[in-house]
Structure 1
Amino acid sequence: MKEKLHFKTISKNEILLKAGDYCKSIYFVNKGCLRIYQNHQNGEETNILFCPENWWSCDIISFSTGSTASYSIDALENGEVIYIEHHDLENLYIEIPKLERFFRILFQNGFALYQNRLTLALSMSAELRYSLFQKQYPMLMNRISQKHIASYLGITAVFLSIIKKRHVSS
């Protein structure tokens, strides 16, 4: 398995996957933080997920089906990733059946995370989303820009600033 893993040092803002390309690799964040995001026609971006140390990152639909990626992935910090290419992972599933179980559970947990994220976005106030963000990503609060956090929460950076002031004073 070790022969199939690749190590890469990444620079802040380095793009690992661009929407429209094919997601051929799944990345494990060894150091730093990646983000999965979507570009909109008006030039704005929506952050879908942050992937700090010990998280996995890929456009799962593209990776699994071979279709083009809907999301982009880039580095929010300098860091290091370990990655494996799709065809190598498929071969390892055959050679190491327990590895297939590991990734099935990983993908199930990722799907649950996306479902929870969707529920939050559709049904909870911005203040509650911010509180939950603080709990889910406490290590990122001072590492990534407010612009990225606001995008993830679906609010403006100005409104995020107001929410943060309320949290500090309460």
Structure 2
Amino acid sequence: MLFIAQVSFAQKKWRRYKSKPGNFKVKLPAKPTLKERKNQYILETESEGVLYQILFNKTRQNNDLKVAQKLVSKELDKVRRDLRLKEELRIESNMGTLMLGLPVQGIRFRNQRNQLYQYRVLVTKYHTYHFIITKYNKILDKARSAKFFGSFKLWKKEK
């Protein structure tokens, strides 16, 4: 009985997964599913109450921070509409950073039920990537979100 309790507390090893349609590899805590909707793909997995998603589609544009900022604003508006504006969202951070040497725009916010959302957008020459982490209770281990965002790599260099 004690052995079973120890296993449940052990943190699972993250594995690297490749997405041929998205031209990337990323580490995830569980095997993901890949869904296709119109011109967009959704790679997602859930582990220990945390939902990890990468939405991606093909684009024909160069990375532009203004495009990424506009996409972050659209996502925030979409979440507000989904919540029917009944709840106030607390924005914890709105940041720009680098990922793969390209500018990335991100936002981190909570709703009144303390659900945490982290959202980042990366626009490369051929793809737009949307990274979403949803945590359904108070704390999201920063190491897990850093592992998810930091493990993302393009597996074929874009020309």
After TM superposition, the score normalised by the length of structure 2 is 0.26
| Structure in which a larger fraction of residues adopt strand | 2
| Structure in which a larger fraction of residues adopt helix | 1
After TM superposition, the score normalised by the length of structure 1 is 0.25
